Amino acid sequence: MAIKNVFVGVIARSFGGTTVTGRHSYQFEFSEQEMLPLAKVVDYLAAAPGNAILVDITSSQDVADQYPNFLSSGVNIITPNKKAFAGSYKLWQDVFSAASSSGAKIYHESSVCAGLPILSTLKELVDTGDIIERIDGSAVVKKAMDLGYTEPDPRDDLNGLDVARKLTVLARLSGLPVQSHTLFPVQSLIPKELESCTSGEEFMQKLHEYDSRMEEIKSEAEKEGKAVRHVGSIDIQSKQVRVGLEKFDKSDPIAALRGNDNAISFHTRRYGASPLIIQGAGAGGDLTAMGITGDLIKILERSS
């Protein structure tokens, strides 16, 4: 693949020195100068020779708010940042309207389940005329916490809001105009007694004291031959979105989740009684990087 006249700009969290990823070590050097205001970054990339690409690997709302300006200026965007896709519905509309008008591309595969091909699969289903009826998704939160794959503060996973943001992205891509991830039912797994904890560390130290409550729920389900999972569900036909505990038959792929697995089930008109299921590790730096790299390759192929 011959690549010509491509200019890539990266906005990342502030860090320096040596960063280790897997078995590889990389040395980064940073300027002592302050970062340009975002409006100037837009101008800088827009004036760059050739095909400009912004890679946003922050979780910044300020950067996400500038996406329409980047896209309107012809700058392509690749990002795992959910803020532009799960926040304000107006921002969502502005982002994709700007991309449509300018022809610039925006890819955010890794904003949902890291490297799993969730968004590209959903887009292909919709673009080829399939009718999305329901989407279910789940992850093994406790095991993922043990392995360090959750959000920086584990409460962001256990309160259900991270799942709610991902559902918002999936619902919107399916054609359901969800206005906000705060406007549908979300069942938190955080015991009320721990809601006042001032830090993630304090929360984790005390969490085991309340394990018995979840064990009771699991035991009741096992008597019925079922497993309990914390899931997100989107019912397109009834326009219902929710996050909460549900029981599944042991034969269900969601009940069989292990390790840091995620599973997404697409129930569609075309697939009928056998939903399309995507399952695998859905968190971790290497997998997120793979999703970002895959999106970068898509843009580069279109630039060659």
What's the Cα-to-Cα distance from 122 to each of 7, 66, 75, 118, 232, rounded to whole Å? 29, 26, 24, 6, 16
pLDDT of the residue at 28: 45
Which is more confident, 88 or 19? 88
CATH of the domain at 241: 3.30.360.10
Identify whether 50 is part of a domain. yes
Average pLDDT value for residue range 94-112: 97
Same structural domain, 221 and 236? yes
Average pLDDT value for residue range 182-205: 87
| Alpha-carbon dihedral sign for residues 287, 82, 254, 239 | negative
Q: Read off the pLDDT of residues 57-74 as tens digits, 9 standing for 90 and up.
A: 988 999 999 999 999 999
Task: State what percent of residues in the chain have pLDDT above 90.
Answer: 56
The crossing angle, in degrees rounded to 10, of helices 118-127 and 161-173 is 30
pLDDT of the residue at 26: 41
Q: Which of 3-12, 135-144, 279-288 has the highest mean pLDDT?
A: 279-288
Same structural domain, 129 and 245? yes
Identify whether 33 is part of a domain. yes
CATH of the domain at 64: 3.40.50.720
Identify whether 1 is part of a domain. no
Q: Read off the pLDDT of residues 244-302 as tens digits, 9 standing for 90 and up.
A: 999 999 888 888 887 678 899 999 999 999 999 999 988 788 899 999 999 999 998 88
Task: State what percent of residues in the chain have pLDDT above 70.
Answer: 84
Same structural domain, 78 and 189? no
Which is more confident, 102 or 13? 102
Average pLDDT value for residue range 205-211: 82
Average pLDDT value for residue range 210-215: 84
For the cut 70, the answer to whether the pLDDT of residue 142 exceeds it is no
d(CA 169, CA 182): 13
Q: What total number of domains does the chain contain?
A: 2
Average pLDDT value for residue range 97-126: 96
For the cut 90, the answer to whether the pLDDT of residue 226 exceeds it is yes
Same structural domain, 170 and 243? yes
d(CA 141, CA 261): 9
Same structural domain, 33 and 83? yes
Same structural domain, 133 and 98? no
Identify whether 226 is part of a domain. yes
For the cut 70, the answer to whether the pLDDT of residue 136 exceeds it is yes
Average pLDDT value for residue range 219-239: 93
5 and 303 Cβ atoms separated by less than 8 Å: yes
Question: Which residues are designated catalytic?
Answer: 166
Q: Read off the pLDDT of residues 19-48 as tens digits, 9 standing for 90 and up.
A: 333 333 444 445 556 677 899 999 999 998
Same structural domain, 298 and 198? no
Same structural domain, 133 and 202? yes
* pTM, to two decimals: 0.84
pLDDT of the residue at 74: 96
Same structural domain, 138 and 26? no
Same structural domain, 255 and 150? yes
Same structural domain, 138 and 276? yes
The phi, psi pair for 268, rounded to 5°, reads -130, 165
Instruction: Show the DSSP H helices in 200-284 as ranges.
Output: 200-207, 211-223
Average pLDDT value for residue range 115-122: 95
Residue 53: which domain range? Answer: 6-113+285-303
Same structural domain, 213 and 76? no
